[in-house]
Structures are given as structure tokens and as C-alpha cells.
Amino acid sequence: MDEVLLRTLTPRVIGILVRRGAGFAAAEDAVQDALVEAVRVWPRDPPRDPSGWLVAVAWRRFLDAVRADTSRRRREDLVDAEPEPGPAASTDDTLRLYFLCAHPSLAPASAVALTLRAVGGLTTRQIAQAYLVPEATMAQRISRAKRTVADVRFDQPGDVATVLRVLYLVFNEGYSGDVDLAAEAIRLTRQLAAAFRHEEVDGLLALMLLHHARRPARIRPDGSLVPLAEQDRGRWDTRMIAEGVGVLQAALARDRLGEFQAQAAIAALHADARTAGETDWVQIVEWYDELIRLTGSPVARLNRAVAVGEADGPRAGLAALEALDPTLPRYSAVAAYLHEREGDTATAARLYADAARCATSLPERDHLTRQAARLNNPPS
């Protein structure tokens, strides 16, 4: 069973049903039923035309639902519109589905869940496992999201920035359950880039590739985090890095800089350094300046303080940090690192402990706790 093929076909089949007259929610439900049937039937009887098979089965499921719902008798005339058997139309509505599922009226969590289901072709169970919530909770979230976009026209122009933020949220979830969300986000972003020529789409794809290339070196066998400076760069995926750099260079050449391109440029500079000591921190500071100009992001300012500390020394980094809000996520961790580099290990240990108490993930909390313990109990 080719699960990637099923996920790729999902938005196309939903689009075909919608163009035939099905509402988005009804079409999505019917396609999910067809996917379940495909998982059951295809291993012993694979179709010659997978797309056509899914369209036929999903359309029958939709018509069955229409017939069973007496409150929708006015739609019974759709039964007469059932097309003759044959190859499915080649029109791909994936791009429209991206914009529909990432509609601005949806909360980010709902937009992510709906995108993974309608565009990614994941089941509710898989999405629930990935986000570590009960399946019933995720089903309710998806149902509410579908109700929210029920009256949105399928051809209504969407906001590419919203689509990209949803995909970035998916990527940052990483891996949990039986679905690798980082890999899934890359697959979906590749799909979007193929259908939609846009510099920021390419910038996001480059950013994902450059970050994902470092994944093998980011976690130790015991699950603990490995800071960037300590990673074994021989374990980085050089082919993926080369692809990411190539995608980024092509995007930058169009001279329409956006925030994801700026972030990707920073990631590319890290990937280009053979050792942590060879990192071009001066250029990284310059790219953070561009990113702050584009977004005004407090997180970018926080990361810039780290880069300034590397480029101009920890005292300069601490000076840059003083202008920021101490309640920012990771502020204490950055302050701890810079104080340690300045030689103030007592303050650094206290700040590492403070940061550990505020950490949002167990690996990050463990890492910061170990940093505090290391400074509080130096080797004799």
C-alpha cells in the first residue's frame, strides 16, 4: 500500500467532488471513507487508475450520504449527475485546498489539523497521535474547522502568508506518533512550491530542508538535545543542505525578500560552516537585522542577541539583551548562556534553572537542568 500516493491524491479527489457539487465538508468525509476502503482493498486488488478509483468510491459515498439525509432532499438531483466511468479529470485543486484549510477565520491549531487531513490525507487517528491528544478531541477540532469554512467559496483567493505559517507550525511539531510531521510538512511544501511560484514558498521550503538536514545530529540516543555548537556535522545530510541552498539562492535572485528567505539564509550560514568556530556570525547578525526589519519579531531580536554575543563578545550580547522583554520565551536561557561566556557562572546557573522551570518540552527542560547542574557542580 503506497500511503504517500494516497496522501498525494487526497486533495485532487476532494477538489473533483467539490466541482461536481459536493460541499467541502461532505466531500472531505466521503474521501476519507474512500481512503479507508482503499487501505482495505488495494493490497489484494490494486486499481489501474488509483485516482479514478478514489473518485468513483468517494462519489458513491457522498451520494449515499445525500440519500440518507432526508433534510437534504433538494440535493437529490445530484444523483443524476453521476458521470460515466472512466479516468478522473486531471485538474489538481491542491492549491485551492491549501488556502481553504488555512483560512484566516480558523485558529492555528484547527487550520493545521484541517490541512493535515484534507491536503495531507492523514486520518483523524494519525493526526491525534501526532499531537498527543485523544482521537475524539481531534475529531471535534476537525469538525468545527470544517463548519467554519463551510460557506467559504472554493475559488475564493487565499492568503499565502497564512498557508505558510500553517505549514511551518506543522514542521515545528517534528515527530510523534506514527507520522513524521516534519517530513510531511516538507512534502506538502514541495507540493505547494510546484503548484505556486512564490519566493516565500521557496524560502520556507529551503528553511525546512536546511533545518531537517541537521536532524540526525540533534538528538542523542538517550533522547537528550545536542546544542548546535556540539553537533557532529559529519552526520548532517549534505545532499539536503545543497538542495536547500539551491532553492534559497533561486528565491533570493528574484529580489523579493521575505521573512522565510531571511530565516533560511541564517540557516544556510550555519550549514556552510565546517565547524562551530568557523560560523560567519557577522553575516548572521546582518540577516537578523533584515528579519527584524521585515517582521519586528521579538524572537528574532532574542536570537540576534545570541548572534551579537558570538560576533562581538558576550558583553555586547548582554547589552543587546537588555533592551528586550525578560518574559520572552527562552530569554533566561539566552541570558544564562551569555553570562556563562562572560565568566559569571553563578548567575548563569541560576538563569539556567529558571529557564528549565519555564521550558515547554521535556528534552529542553532536561537540557537546561543539566546545564545548571554542570555549573553548580564543576569537576574538581
Give the tens place of pLDDT for each residue, 46-98.
888 998 999 999 999 888 888 776 544 554 454 544 444 444 444 456 777 88
Burial level of 273, CB count in 10 A (0-12/13-18/19+)?
Answer: middle
Q: What is the model's pLDDT at position 243?
A: 97
DSSP assignments along 18-36, one per residue: HHHT--HHHHHHHHHHHHH
Distance CA 13, CA 15 (A): 5
Q: What is the model's pLDDT at position 72?
A: 47
Is residue 52 within 8 Å of residue 12, measured between CB atoms? no
Give, for all 380 residues of the chain, the pLDDT tens digit.
577 788 888 888 888 888 888 888 888 888 888 988 888 889 888 888 998 999 999 999 888 888 776 544 554 454 544 444 444 444 456 777 888 888 888 888 888 888 888 888 888 888 888 777 899 999 999 999 888 888 777 666 567 888 898 888 888 876 655 668 888 889 889 988 988 889 999 999 999 999 999 999 998 888 888 999 999 999 999 999 999 999 999 999 999 999 999 999 999 999 999 999 999 999 999 999 999 999 999 999 999 999 999 999 999 999 999 999 999 989 999 999 999 999 999 999 999 999 999 987 888 999 999 999 999 988 76
> Which tens digits make up the pLDDT trace of 84-140?
444 444 445 677 788 888 888 888 888 888 888 888 888 888 888 877 789 999 999
The answer for residues whose C-beta is within 8 angstroms of residue 9's C-beta and 6 or more apart is 50, 51, 54, 121
- The model scores a pTM over 0.85: no
Beta bridge partners of 192: none
- SS3 (DSSP) at 82: coil
